[in-house]
Structures are given as structure tokens and as C-alpha cells.
Amino acid sequence: MFWRYLLKNRLAIAGGACVLVVFVTAFLAPALSPYDPGAISVSEKLTSPSWRHLLGTDQLGRDVFSRMLYGARISLLVGFVAVGLSLVIGILVGAMAGYYGKWVDTILMRFVDVMMCFPSFFLILTVIALLGPNIMNVMVVIGITSWMGTARFVRAEFLTLRERDFVRAARALGARDSRIIFYHILPNALAPVFVAATLDVATAILVEAGLSFLGFGVQPPAPSWGNILTSGRVYIFDAWWLTLFPGIAILITVLSFNLFGEGLRDAMDPRLR
């Protein structure tokens, strides 16, 4: 039934297909790239798109198409590692709060409320400025500042599931709390969490692109869609391709993840069928 409803959603299928294309191109970047993304050719700087350079070259003569392919790898890496870290933190906090309730729930949820009061992007900028801009810091900071929604979501699922008969039966058999949480309740709460995580990947990619655009993300010469955009900002009137193509790549990738995530949510929620 899930697959039948999902396949009926053409936007979700289109989004999933685009996501698959991005994955394949990122994985096959060394094979698909016609040039070394770091190779400098000053004589060919700011060359417009042509058969020799499909997406043109930048201010150092580097092939933009090759840099875009390798930039997809970094964007996906940041998105999935950051979301993976946020899922681990969010699931642990939400599970503890939802299962134990009472004062544990009160303390953890008030901490979540405090974290949600901070403007996330400016908090990320501050931490990155203190720790230094590199890809590892970007992934970790995005992950530890974006787990609050997951924690709230998991808590709500645990509050519903902890009173079910199969949980009461496990307690009656003497199962430990850790076994009940991670073996009995958590598997039943993960499906909607992973759907929400699909949407969070798009947000993480967008945040990384914004940080790189501001100079606080992935640092040159490593290519990312955000820092390609940054280099094109200075030449926006002379080399339009430096801003157009990375911008389109970010737009399509984020939109595809959002459409696919929305389709998964609709297919999994019987109230929306």
C-alpha cells in the first residue's frame, strides 16, 4: 500500500529520481569529470560555456563542470553526516524524555526549548568563527544545532507507544528499560523520523552552501557549490555561469529532497491518503 501511494505521487517520484541522479554523479565524479577540479589554466580563465568546458571556467581557469561534480560529493557528505549526528542526539534525547516522563521529560524539553530560542544560522556562524572553517567543523556544528526537531518528534512517538500492550508485556517479562527503549519502542518510532530526516538533509545542504558562500564553510581549493557561488559573486556581470549553474544545482537538489520527503510522509500517513 505504501509503494502504491508513493508511485502515484509524480512529484515525489521526480524528486527521488533527481536525488538518485545527484548521488550517481557524485559517486562517479572521478570518471565523469573531464578535468582535474583543481587544475589551474590562467590562459583559459573566465571562459564561457563551450564544448571544451561545458559550464565554463572560473577566474583561475578551472573547469566549472568538474568542480560542480566534486562539489556534489561535499554537499551530500555534509548533508548526511550532519543529519546523522542530529538524528543520534535527537533520538537519544527524545527517547529518554518520552519514555521516562516526569522530571526527566521536563528538564530535557526545557533544554530543547532553550536551544530552539537561538537563531540557528547565527549560532552556527559564531561557532564556526571560533573553531575555524573546515568541512569537519561544518558537519559537526550543523549536526549539534539541528537535533531539536527530531527530539520533539521522537518524544511524541514514545509518549504514544510506551503505553501499548507490547511494551507492558515486555515490562511484565522483566525486560530492562534499555531493551524496551531500543529494541521494542524505537524501531516502531523510526519510520516517520527517517522521513523527517530526508527533509533535514535538504536543509543541511542549504546551510552548508550559505556558510561556504559567506566564507565560513568549505575552504578553497576544495570545491563546493557554495564557494563556487562566492567566487562568481565578484564576476557576476562578466561570468554569469559562475553563479547560475551552482545556484541551479542547489535549487534542484534541495527541491528534490523536499519533494521526495513530502511524498514519503504522505504515503506513510493514512490520514493523507
Greater confidence (145 vs 272) lies with 145
Cβ atoms 85, 143 nearer than 8 A: yes
How far is Cα of residue 227 from the mean position of the Cα atoms in its chain?
A: 18
Distance CA 101, CA 98 (A): 6
The H-assigned helical ranges of the chain are 2-8, 10-27, 29-32, 64-100, 102-117, 120-131, 135-144, 148-161, 165-172, 177-179, 186-214, 225-233, 241-268
Share of the chain above pLDDT 70, in %: 98
Whether 146 and 79 have beta carbons less than 8 Å apart is answered as no
Q: Which residue has the higher pLDDT, 133 or 203?
A: 203
Identify whether 223 is preceded by a cis peptide bond (ω within 30 of 0): no
pLDDT of residue 272: 52
Q: Quote the pLDDT of residue 42.
A: 82
pLDDT over 90 percentage in the chain: 3
User: Phi, psi (5° rounding) for residue 57?
Assistant: -130, 165
Minimum mean pLDDT range among 88-102, 139-153, 192-206: 192-206
> How large is the average pLDDT for residues 12-39?
88
Q: How many domains does the chain have?
A: 1
- The size of the chain, in residues, is 273
Name the DSSP class of 271.
G
In this prediction the pTM is 0.81
Is the model more confident about 199 or about 156?
156
Helix (H, G, I), strand (E, B) or coil at 131: helix
Q: What is the pLDDT of residue 273?
A: 55
Cα end-to-end span (Å), the chain = 10
8 A C-beta contact, residue 205 and residue 78: yes
Q: Which residues contact 180 (CB under 8 A, 6 or more apart)?
A: 99, 167, 170, 171
- Domain span at 125: 2-272
Q: Mind listing the pLDDT tens digit for each residue in 93-118?
A: 988 988 888 888 899 989 988 888 87
The pLDDT value given to residue 212: 79
- Reported as a single tens digit per residue, the pLDDT across 210-239 is 887 777 777 777 888 888 888 787 788 888
Any residues with CB less than 8 A from the CB of 134 and at least 6 apart, and which?
A: 218, 219
Q: What is the mean pLDDT of residues 139-153?
A: 86
Whether 153 shows a pLDDT value over 70: the answer reads: yes
Q: Which cell goes with 138? A: 561544518
pLDDT digit string, tens, across residues 63-97: 889 899 998 888 888 888 888 899 999 999 988 98
- pLDDT band at 250, cuts 50/70/90? confident
Residues ≥6 apart with Cβ < 8 Å to 181: 95, 99
Residue 157 sits in a domain whose CATH number is: 1.10.3720.10
